[in-house]
Structure 1
């Protein structure tokens, strides 16, 4: 039996609790219990992260890393698979936090903008799949015109990339890996990518980037840009990093399909009719918009976070029936998540989570190359001694 705690709250707070609990389809008591549970777990998780015996961990693992904008932990899985140890993680979405906690036992710190960079544990590699936002250089230009000093981070203020940059500046990891959509290079007419790379170079890091396609490991065409940074203070000006050569694609969609699938994933007659009519209209106009009926012996389109709406981008053909959507487990496989990975949220949330996730084996290939290339044990002092010799 549970224990009872009686507290008084204001009328305004009680009203908000009733509204929020109704939206979450819970009683007020259940909702308050959930809020307390995750709030306490977050505080305890942060305390645990900030008080880890890193000297002991360093003896067991090859390197330490932090996982920012962690989602459901795809990058963590990849780097743990190459003998890394996660010493801090951050993710604000409560549903992703639940999935992350159930799979790794760590509840991510919520809002990265609210943590002091000095409080984050020391680490060798920083990982971040940060959101893409437009940057403005107007503020910097104005300060220059007025003869005022400005810091290198000024141009990223107000964006979540600022939080990545301020942590890199303070903690100076030996390396970092950032991941984003392929179009980051062209976002905001190229200004976003220019500001990102110039900011990272201003921090005295060597920068390498490349677009990699998930189809080399999973049956999904999914292009993402990966940005690797190496600390010049540790590795010097001329250190070379090369992205891994990816294997020839050899996976097809039928490899990831479940044998028994609930009929609820089959499209209704109304939805299937609508999608066919929608595609027909756009084809008549010369557009390429429309559903994607998958060739089971080939690869699929890119899985997106909107897949929960109608599943139209990746539809599985069925004999004698309307096509169906992928199941959440099939989405997990399409992204290269291991079979042990627990799916603990609704289908809607699972589709969003896997649609936003990284393709795990692609990240792992980069992680292997990074670990093989750089020496985690070298110090700034040792590098200077090598150069002197």
Structure 2
């Protein structure tokens, strides 16, 4: 599709392994015509958080009887843990109603293993941030080998879906892969190259595997992630454009760290993030202790910030005495590039600190995605209102 047609067209996006929708947040800031035509997610908490952040204005007609809700939900594979399937009948009626509403709002197609190419609408951009656990240095290193049955091996479900879409002549024009930087480590490079060879056989041209750090995109979090852009046909000249988006590593830390405890909301959030003072937490402090300043950066935010190596610890005098606190969830969302408004929407679910921590730790820094999308699309897909201005 040429640029003139794209300017009058809506970029149709499908988020595989959607999580809480960092891609949607990035696209929303660009001022382009885009539509999330569907997502794929099986983790119940992620589905509900995605809907709360991105779909709160989507009305859903709720059935009055629980049987209709159960019949709908039974068509999907859901997980309450993100590890193994959950029998929805083990959820309370209220939980099933909440899941029904969120699944409808987010237009969730369900687990990637259950999706068929024929099920999907027309897609221009497919983003796939498949599970990193078996590639991460914090995991067991089981890898993503085709047929391995590992969580990271779910990548190959995308191979199946793309093959089915090609048979239907419906291949997306653009693909975006995101994962941990160890995807290109020696023990995984053979599998990565096999994946890239497959994409080339389908007609895609791939960029190099780019390792991008959120520190270079306006966020004081040392978080490196791998990204590969694929384009159907000729390769996209985007790598240099993304490099040009990098900024000087100077930060206004008060935009991210909320230590004004005179604000009762920030004080309550800090109280929730406080840790008991134990010998193991003293060790954590020695490794991760921070003094709040504009020169401060935090380590990579993980899905559990009560580990020996955590993102950051601060001295804090709260309900548990004079001890330490982790990042608050508001701070963690901001350090992942989400807005305060998006955090407030997520917090409306009243999830525990641990639940929100798992969700945000598995997300992608929005600023980095925005730089990638701007390099990919520039001023194409612009909204007519923006053109008139």
Using the size of structure 2 for normalisation, the TM-score is: 0.67
Q: Which residue of 1 aligns with 2:15?
A: 67
Q: Which residue of 2 aligns with 1:355?
A: 361
After superposition, the C-alpha distances for 1:206-235 in whole angstroms (9 at most, x for unaligned) are 101311110122110111111100101xxx
Deviation at residue 323 of structure 1 after TM alignment: 2.3
Deviation at residue 261 of structure 1 after TM alignment: 2.2
Contact 1:269–1:322 (Cα < 8 Å) also in 2? yes
Aligned runs of 1:109-124 on 2, under 5 Å? 109-124=109-124
Q: Name the SS for the 1:166 alignment partner.
A: helix
Bigger RCO (CA 8 Å, 6+ sep): 2
Whole-Å Cα distance in 1 between the matches of residues 272 and 381 of structure 2? Answer: 51
Deviation at residue 113 of structure 1 after TM alignment: 0.8
After superposition, the C-alpha distances for 1:22-53 in whole angstroms (9 at most, x for unaligned) are xxxxxxxxxxxxxxxxxxxxxxxxxxxxxxxx
Q: 1:192 to 1:365 in 2, by over 3 A?
A: same
RMSD: 3.1
Whole-Å Cα distance in 2 between the matches of residues 364 and 100 of structure 1? Answer: 18
Whole-Å Cα distance in 1 between the matches of residues 111 and 36 of structure 2? Answer: 18
After superposition, the C-alpha distances for 1:63-106 in whole angstroms (9 at most, x for unaligned) are 11111100000111112333221101111111001101122223
Q: Say yes or no: does 1:180 pair with 2:186.
A: no
Gaps of 5+ in 2: 1-5, 56-104, 135-142, 261-265, 383-389
Q: 1:295 to 1:185 in 2, by over 3 A?
A: farther
Q: Which residue of 2 aligns with 1:160?
A: 154
After superposition, the C-alpha distances for 1:256-310 in whole angstroms (9 at most, x for unaligned) are 122332223222222xx32334787xxxxxxxxx334355322111101122557
Q: Which residue of 2 aligns with 1:332?
A: 333
Q: Which residue of 2 aligns with 1:92?
A: 42
Q: Say yes or no: does 1:267 pair with 2:264.
A: no
Q: Say yes or no: does 1:203 pair with 2:202.
A: yes
Q: Which residue of 1 aligns with 2:298?
A: 300
Whole-Å Cα distance in 1 between the matches of residues 50 and 230 of structure 2? Answer: 26
Q: Which residue of 2 aligns with 1:29?
A: none
- 2:288 corresponds, among 257, 273, 291, to 291
Contact 1:275–1:291 (Cα < 8 Å) also in 2? no
Q: Name the SS for the 1:99 alignment partner.
A: helix
Gaps of 5+ in 1: 1-57, 140-153, 281-289, 377-389
Size of the aligned set, in residue pairs, is 289
Contact 1:292–1:312 (Cα < 8 Å) also in 2? no
Deviation at residue 322 of structure 1 after TM alignment: 2.0
Aligned runs of 1:241-252 on 2, under 5 Å? 241-242=238-239, 243-244=241-242, 245=244, 246-252=246-252
After superposition, the C-alpha distances for 1:338-370 in whole angstroms (9 at most, x for unaligned) are 122122222111011111110001101100110
Whole-Å Cα distance in 2 between the matches of residues 158 and 310 of structure 1? Answer: 25
Q: Name the SS for the 1:251 alignment partner.
A: coil
Contact 2:7–2:381 (Cα < 8 Å) also in 1? no
Q: 1:316 to 1:159 in 2, by over 3 A?
A: same
Which is greater in Rg?
Answer: 1
